Structure 1
Amino acid sequence: MKRFSNAIARHEQEEADLRQSGVEKALNNRTVKSLPVYKRRAWFFKVMKRVPARRK
């Protein structure tokens, strides 16, 4: 997860913000908790891609 956010963010602070907003969205979404682990990971990476952040 950290490598992925590092790949799409410009700076270290943006990377941390990207991960934090992804985790925040995951915690607010109740259906994520019922998904199998492999689908949770896919969902999380998709959310991180969609978070409006400055990209490289």
Structure 2
Amino acid sequence: MGIELKEETIAKLRAKLGREPTEDETRSARNELIRRAYAAMATTDLLMRDEAEDL
């Protein structure tokens, strides 16, 4: 899982909003992607630690 390009984020926002997104909307959407990526990494880390402890 990688973070999408800024152009991809803008294209998705354009389709969702039906207009050109503002810089703040773009930044907010990209920050959300980063938060989700960190949450996924943290969850994976916890699950792998639990699994390693069970071995």
TM-score bin, normalised by smaller chain:
0.3 to 0.5
Q: Which has the higher contact order (CA 8 A, sep 6+)?
A: 1
With the length of structure 1 as denominator, give the TM-score of the two structures.
Answer: 0.47
Q: Which has the larger radius of gyration?
A: 2
Larger relative helix fraction: 2
With the length of structure 2 as denominator, give the TM-score of the two structures.
Answer: 0.47
